[in-house]
């Protein structure tokens, strides 16, 4: 069973930085695709970043400010967040992108989420 445990959230001032971690068990991060999805308070879900086959993709809302990476030795995925704004306040989920043949892009499972609050 794949399990994802996020950490690293907290309160940060506008313009600040934060690094989120996602400890993965049940699968090797070197052999799977991983994403981050966020949910701002009272609103819906937003996919923000993907790491797959050594490549990365970002939503326009975070491009140039956020960086997704992984450490195969620690089986952990990271999200480095720089130049944070109040609009980045959200619950951040680490999610796996499983594959079924040539099909992939859905999210399963989801971590429990880590809350990031950007406020002065």
Partner 1 sequence: EIVLTQSPGTLSLSPGERATLSCRASQSVISNYLAWYREKPGQSPRLLIYDVSRRATGIPDRFSGSGSGTDFSLTISRLEPEDFAVYYCQQYGSSPWTFGQGTKVEIK
The footprint of partner 1 (CB under 8 A) covers 44-47, 57, 59-60, 93, 100, 103-113
Output the six-digit token pair for 51. Answer: 């790491």
Minimum CB distance to partner 1, residue 80 (Å): 19
Minimum CB distance to partner 1, residue 64 (Å): 15
Backbone CA torsion sign across 1, 56, 53, 101:
positive
Output the six-digit token pair for 103. Answer: 């099909």
Residue 3 contacts residue 108 (beta carbons within 8 Å): no
Minimum CB distance to partner 1, residue 76 (Å): 19
Residue 58 contacts residue 48 (beta carbons within 8 Å): yes
């Amino acid at each position: 069973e794949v399990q994802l445990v996020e950490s690293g959230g907290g309160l940060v001032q506008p313009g600040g930085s934060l690094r989120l971690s996602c400890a993965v068990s049940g699968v090797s991060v070197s052999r799977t695709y991983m994403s981050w999805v966020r949910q701002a308070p009272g609103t819906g879900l937003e996919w923000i970043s993907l790491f797959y086959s050594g490549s990365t993709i970002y939503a326009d809302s975070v491009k140039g400010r956020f960086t997704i990476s992984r450490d195969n030795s620690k089986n952990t995925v990271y999200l480095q967040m720089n130049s944070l704004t109040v609009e980045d306040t959200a619950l951040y989920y680490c999610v796996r992108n499983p594959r079924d043949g040539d099909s992939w892009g859905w999210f399963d499972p989801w971590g429990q989420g880590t809350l990031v609050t950007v406020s002065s």
